Structure formats: structure tokens, C-alpha cells
Amino acid sequence: MNETPTAYQASDDEIDLRVLFKAIWQGKWIILLFAVACAIAGIVYAKLQPDIYDAHATLAPKDGGGSNSGGGLQGLASLAGVNLGGEGSNQTVIAQEVLKSRAFLSDFIERHQYAPKLAAVAGWNPSSGEIRYDSERFDPENNQWQTNDQGQSLKPTDWTLVNQLRSAFGVSSNKNTGMVMVNFQHQSPVFARELVENLVRDINDHMRKLDVEEAERSIDYLENKIQETSIAGMQQVFFQLIETETRKVMLAYSSPEYVFKTIDPAVVPQVPSQPKRKLIVIVATMAGGLFGVLVVLLRSFFSKRDPE
């Protein structure tokens, strides 16, 4: 007697499964209608999305660059009671963090006048290679931002510009090889390459400037220490340290690639990386089919509960 309910339950499940498939088969045209409608909507949506191009550059940490080049004289500095700094610091990691910092990016946008190309782009003309701007926000002929009804400028704030730039570019490093990848996405492939090139050049210049300023401050400090002491041995140590810092300044200006050396420079991308139009249409079609199945099952369920 204990086995009978189980048998009945299995039989009921089998009957329900058959009814389920029967309902789906009877509503196949409804499912097909939803799938086709969503596929058409997906095609229209994919066509309306602008092409996005991804420009990237591969960089390698420059050996000998940065403030870690003190060499064996770091020990002499410790004996003399002078801390030159830079112990254990990784200039590549520091440069990557600076590259993503708000202060550096804000100054970068202002220096190159990139605000319109980040916040007022309406499209890109492949034939002329020029960026089309939103005339309601920016006037390219007069190179000025439009104003609203209250007379306020529509130029976005530095906060907004930095966030827009951060959302379109990325910095990543390979822990195994140490290589650094810098990429930027934009509707204009020409501007995407230009921005990556300027980012790489400016971060090298920025890190060089910081190290040169630090070395010059160290030289000034050591020269003052020489004037304060009359011990010949200590003066000799300070002169050696000044020589090291002077050599650091000279080496900083010897190469434009101070922290990062370009292995694979950015080029103008020929094929857009986004949007994935085929994937959009496939997902939309599948979503429409699933929605059609849901509608058919609900329709079948409520029709069974109809008193008539």
C-alpha cells in the first residue's frame, strides 16, 4: 500500500510533463512571434549603437629609471644620517597608480584640451576622420561650450570628465612578465590612439619631473650640510651623494622613456571592438523565445482554471 501513492505521483508527473510539452507545441507560433519580434528589436538596437574602437599600447618597466638608482651609495647616505628615500619602492607600481589618479588625469585633460572629445562627441566621420560634436553642448567652430536657459555653461566639471575618462581607459599589468597594458576606447580610432600615446608620454614626463625635483632638493640639502660640518670625512661623503644626485638628474633627461619603455605602440584600430552586434541579436532572440514560452505556459495554466 505504501508504493501506490508513489506510483500515482510518478504517473501524475509524467502526465504533467506531457501536458507541458503539448502546451508549448500548441503555442509554438506565439513563441516564434515573440522571438522574431525581439530579434528585430535587437537588430535595430545593435544598428543604433555607435562603433567603439579600442587602442592599446604594451609597455615594459624601464630598467634604471626612478628613484631606486642610488646604488651602493645608499649605505653611505645612511652612515651620514641622510635618508634619500626610494628604498623598496616600485616606480612601475607608483606610475600605474599615478596614471589612474584624479589629479594626474584632471591635469592631463586640461593640458590637452580633451574635454569636448570626452563629453560632447556625437559621432565620427570615417571619410574625413573628424569627430562630430553635439551642437547643443559644444560649438566646435568657436571652440566654446553652449549655455543653458539660465546662462550657465554646459562644460562638465573636472570630476565628471575624469570619471568619463576612467570609464573608457584601463591600465593592467602582467604579474608574470611585468608588462603593462594601457588601452582606451572611443568612437574615433584616431583619437583613441592619440590619447594612449599622450598618456604614455605624459606619465614618463610626470615621473621624471617628480624625481628631478626630489634630487634637486636632496642636492640643496646636502650642500647645506657641507656648510654646517667641518669634518673632512663627512664632507667627502656629502660630495659623493651630491654627485649621485647630479647623475640622477642627468640620466633623467637622457631618454624620453623614463619609467615605461614602449614595446608595442598604439596604432589606429581598423575594426571596432564594440558593440557585439551578433551577440546582442542572439541574446535578444533567446530572451524573446523564453518570454514567449512563459506567456504560453501562463496562458495554458489560466485556461485550465477557467470555470467554463
Q: State mean pLDDT over 147-158.
A: 86
Q: State mean pLDDT over 264-280.
A: 89
185 has which bridge partners? 54
Residues 219 and 285 in one domain: no
Q: State mean pLDDT over 248-276.
A: 86
Q: What are phi and psi of 250, to 5 degrees?
A: -65, -45
Q: Tell me: pLDDT of 10 over 70.
A: no
Domains: count for the chain: 2
Q: Tell me: pLDDT of 241 over 70.
A: yes
Greater confidence, 183 or 228? 183
Residues 295 and 210 in one domain: no
Query: What cell numbers appear for 198 in the block?
Result: 599622450
Residues 150 and 261 in one domain: yes
Residue type for 30, please? I
pLDDT of residue 182: 93
Greater confidence, 130 or 303? 130
Rounded to whole angstroms, how far apart are CA atoms 253 and 247? Answer: 10
Rounded to whole angstroms, how far apart are CA atoms 89 and 211? Answer: 13
Rounded to whole angstroms, how far apart are CA atoms 222 and 236? Answer: 11
- At 140, which CATH number? 3.30.1890
Prediction pTM value: 0.73
Q: State mean pLDDT over 9-29.
A: 68
Q: DSSP state, 157? A: P
Q: DSSP state, 203? A: H
Task: Give percent of the chain with pLDDT exceeding 90.
Answer: 31
Residues 87 and 199 in one domain: yes
Angle at 94 (CA atoms; ends 253, 56), nearest 5 degrees: 80
Q: Answer yes or no: are the C-beta atoms of 262 and 24 closer than 8 Å.
A: no
Q: For 58-62, 117-121, 150-154, 299-303, which range has the lowest pLDDT when averaged over its residues?
A: 299-303
pLDDT of residue 75: 46
Q: For 15-24, 128-137, 204-213, 238-247, which range has the lowest pLDDT when averaged over its residues?
A: 15-24
Residues 216 and 297 in one domain: no
Burial 233-269 (b: 16+ CB within 10 A, else e): ebeebbeebbebbeebbebbeeeeebbbbbeeebeeb
Greater confidence, 279 or 251? 279
Strand residue runs (E) in the chain: 53-61, 121-125, 130-133, 138-139, 144-145, 169-173, 180-186, 260-264
Q: State mean pLDDT over 89-95.
A: 78
Rounded to whole angstroms, how far apart are CA atoms 242 and 220? Answer: 9
pLDDT of residue 13: 46
Residues 194 and 208 in one domain: yes
Q: Supply the mean pLDDT for the chain.
A: 81
Q: Tell me: pLDDT of 88 over 70.
A: no
Rounded to whole angstroms, how far apart are CA atoms 25 and 215? Answer: 79
pLDDT of residue 299: 80
Q: Tell me: pLDDT of 145 over 80.
A: yes
Rounded to whole angstroms, how far apart are CA atoms 254 and 227? Answer: 31
261 has which bridge partners? 60
Residues 83 and 202 in one domain: yes
Burial 100-136 (b: 16+ CB within 10 A, else e): eeeebbbebbeeeebbbbbbbbeebeeeeeebebeee
Task: Locate all alpha helices (DSSP H) within 229-274, ordered by sequence.
Answer: 232-252
Residues 192 and 238 in one domain: yes
pLDDT of residue 116: 93
pLDDT of residue 89: 42
Q: Answer yes or no: are the C-beta atoms of 64 and 205 closer than 8 Å.
A: no
Q: State mean pLDDT over 153-163.
A: 91
pLDDT of residue 189: 93
Q: For 8-17, 79-88, 174-183, which range has the lowest pLDDT when averaged over its residues?
A: 79-88
Q: Which residue has the cell 571652440?
A: 143
Q: Which residue has the cell 608588462?
A: 179
Greater confidence, 255 or 41? 41
Q: Answer yes or no: are the C-beta atoms of 147 and 154 closer than 8 Å.
A: yes
Band (pLDDT 50/70/90 cuts) for residue 238 is confident
Residues 120 and 131 in one domain: yes
Band (pLDDT 50/70/90 cuts) for residue 109 is very high
Residues 146 and 281 in one domain: no
Residues 182 and 303 in one domain: no
Residues 200 and 247 in one domain: yes
Q: How far is CA 37 from CA 31, 63, 292, in A?
A: 10, 59, 10
Structural domain including 91 reads 52-274
